[in-house]
Structure 1
Amino acid sequence: MAPLPDSVRVAVRGWLNCNQVVLRSAAGHVLVDSGYAACADETLARLREPGMLGADSLARLVNTHCHSDHIGGNAAVARAYGCPITIPRDEVPTIDDWSIQERWNAYVDQYAEPFAYQATIAAGESFRAADRVWEAHAAPGHDMEGLMFFAPEGGILVSGDALWADGLGFVWAHDPPNPFVEAALQALDTIERLRPRVVIPGHGEPFEDVGGALAKARSRLAAFANDPRRTARHMMKVMFVFSMLHRGGIAIAEANRYVESVPCYRDLDERFLGEGIDGLGLRLVADLERAGAMRVADGFARPTMAR
């Protein structure tokens, strides 16, 4: 793991759960992002580890963005620690009207527990934690309302899903010019301008090769920019394996029926592919097995990556 000051602790999770970042100080510890709702007990256990919070209290929970793998544990963390929650200001409409979250999660087969927030933060604002100032910067693309947090002292960036060591969070398919790709590129430009020494991503280990990561992310976005069919196929695979992580896998005999029951697959096919979704579940399993992302045994398909 890339070197970090002792006041910055990271619980590296998998792909169903984002990483948890604990920013420690005598003034009160701050947590960035809370993981997926189905894994809330595991998240709380990780937070209680000596290398994270241990037996200490938590002063505040701050979210980079409001996707289910970043806010799913918010309610559980608030119950356990009695801490206030801060969300990106532009995410307020989707949290104030929780039915928006419910419709979206039903659309893609995900889940997040409702929660109450007490404060908001916007790009251009900042907060203090781990004995340093953290600037909020816009991180659009994967989530158009998302933020990332940068500490000039030490050059530490908490990037959310705007940048990982090997890419970034998926962007939505769209006919060219793709506004989600263009927004994600703007976020990468911001990161390049900030020149962080180390990046703590939403998924994966913290890393120092920021230039290499930016090059990989830009290459991936270039491949998607003018090819909505490719982007739609990629989205289907990402969402399928994500749902299989929280479901624990799927019987091969049920794969097609499952895909037919989740609206996003039909919509993506009708808008960008035009192939029909008959047999799509089996095709997704086969593609993911070839890529090493799923393993099939005894008539059951399971993701190979950690939750």
Structure 2
Amino acid sequence: MSDIALPASLRVFERGWLSSNNILLVDEERTALVDTGYATHAEQTVALVQHALAGRALDTIVNTHLHSDHCGGNARLQTQWRSETLIPAASEHAVRAWDEARLTFGATGQTCERFTFTDTLAPGMRLKLGGIDWDVIGAPGHDPDSLMLYASEPRVLISADALWEHGFGVIFPELEGGSGFAEQQAVLDAIARLDVATVIPGHGAPFSDVGAALERAYSRLAWLRADPSRNAKNALKVLIVFKLLEVRAMRFAALEAMLADAAILHAAAQQLAPQSAWPTLLRELAGELAKSGALVLREDGIEAPAHAA
């Protein structure tokens, strides 16, 4: 992690792109973890938290949103410590019914072990974590139910996937005919109005040059809105690389099957080509990803590069 000054009660576990960052907040009364990573990293998440807490229990889990890379460790952490769990209020019914279609796990070709929750969070609420008062702010765009946490003192924003140092998360609602670009614009505008010294993103290191990050995010959003197929193409690339980080290697036949079965992948591919052309589309995307170093291209499939975590 970069040398960013953070409150002593707050610690960031910067994870690889398969898992979101985890933010541990500890005070005399309560310990809490914001976002829990992906399911295949759950044991590692438990070990990281266990070591940091040095014998204390994890009292509270807070999820900014319920994409699998942000809540995939919930179940394992709940088993270890019986932690109370706070989720976005808009996701309450989907979790209670364990509606996997609404929760998008299967729709993105990902997995998440079933977990429970004890309470919900909604925009306008306030909670105390790590001895710090945090305002809950709605952050639709990347995900309709997503939330951010903002502390006016010490001017820290936990932005999840609404703002990274170099962009933001895929605008998923736009893939299935919903609205997401306008919502992402509004979230960036809301961040711009806040007095923020440090952003802790869902992926990547915490950063302090918020103005530059916002400029890059506004520029990227305008580029995506000018041609929505760019968002679809980006989504396919991101989800293919994500899956590859989990399984390490895939044949093109398995990729084609994933596109057919996973609703969000299917919708993104349909924006780019008719289904008969998907084999060609996949090879083109794989070629572009190979050139960027995100994967290794083989004759019959793809592999994760040796350095990928």
Query: Considering the TM-score relative to the shorter chain, is it more than 0.5?
Result: yes
Deviation of 1:282 (Å):
2.2
What secondary structure sits across from 1:282 in the alignment? helix
Partner of 1:283: 284
**Kept after mapping to 2: 8 A contact 1:139/1:146:** yes
**Kept after mapping to 1: 8 A contact 2:88/2:122:** yes
Q: Which runs of 5+ in 1 are unaligned?
A: none
Partner of 1:217: 217
**Kept after mapping to 1: 8 A contact 2:143/2:173:** no
Partner of 2:228: 228
Corresponding residue to 1:22 among 14, 21, 24: 24
Deviation of 1:252 (Å):
5.6
**Kept after mapping to 1: 8 A contact 2:150/2:158:** yes
Partner of 2:207: 207
Is 2:235 aligned against 1:196? no
Distance 2:54 2:21 in 1: 17
**1:1-307 correspondence runs (5 A):** 1=2, 2-49=4-51, 52-101=52-101, 104-172=104-172, 174=174, 179-251=179-251, 254-274=254-274, 276-296=277-297, 301-304=302-305, 306-307=308-309
Deviation of 1:74 (Å):
0.6
The residue type equivalent to 1:285 in the other structure is A
What secondary structure sits across from 1:278 in the alignment? helix
Q: Percent identity?
A: 33
Change (3 A) 1:188 1:168: same
Deviation of 1:288 (Å):
0.7
The residue type equivalent to 2:94 in the other structure is T
Change (3 A) 1:186 1:306: farther
Distance 2:162 2:255 in 1: 31
**Kept after mapping to 2: 8 A contact 1:256/1:279:** no
What secondary structure sits across from 1:190 in the alignment? helix
List per-residue Cα deviations over 1:93-136 (Å, max 9, x = no partner).
Answer: 22122133587322221011111100111110011111110110
Distance 2:103 2:93 in 1: 14
What secondary structure sits across from 2:171 in the alignment? coil
Distance 2:300 2:274 in 1: 29
The residue type equivalent to 2:49 in the other structure is L
Residues 87-96 or 154-163, more deviating: 87-96
Change (3 A) 1:90 1:196: same
- Superposed structure 1 runs of 4+ greater than 6 Å apart: none
Change (3 A) 1:281 1:273: closer
Residues 52-61 or 138-147, more deviating: 52-61
**Normalising by structure 2, what TM-score?**
0.91
**Kept after mapping to 2: 8 A contact 1:139/1:162:** yes
Distance 2:291 2:93 in 1: 40
Change (3 A) 1:107 1:74: same
Deviation of 1:145 (Å):
1.0
**Kept after mapping to 2: 8 A contact 1:259/1:280:** no
What secondary structure sits across from 1:277 in the alignment? helix
What secondary structure sits across from 2:41 in the alignment? helix
What secondary structure sits across from 2:172 in the alignment? coil
Deviation of 1:279 (Å):
2.9
Aligned residues: 304
Deviation of 1:261 (Å):
4.8
Q: Which runs of 5+ in 2 are unaligned?
A: none
**Kept after mapping to 2: 8 A contact 1:64/1:87:** yes
Deviation of 1:196 (Å):
0.9
Distance 1:149 1:36 in 2: 21
Deviation of 1:292 (Å):
1.8
Distance 1:254 1:64 in 2: 31
What secondary structure sits across from 2:279 in the alignment? coil
Deviation of 1:240 (Å):
0.9
Deviation of 1:37 (Å):
1.0
Distance 1:103 1:218 in 2: 28
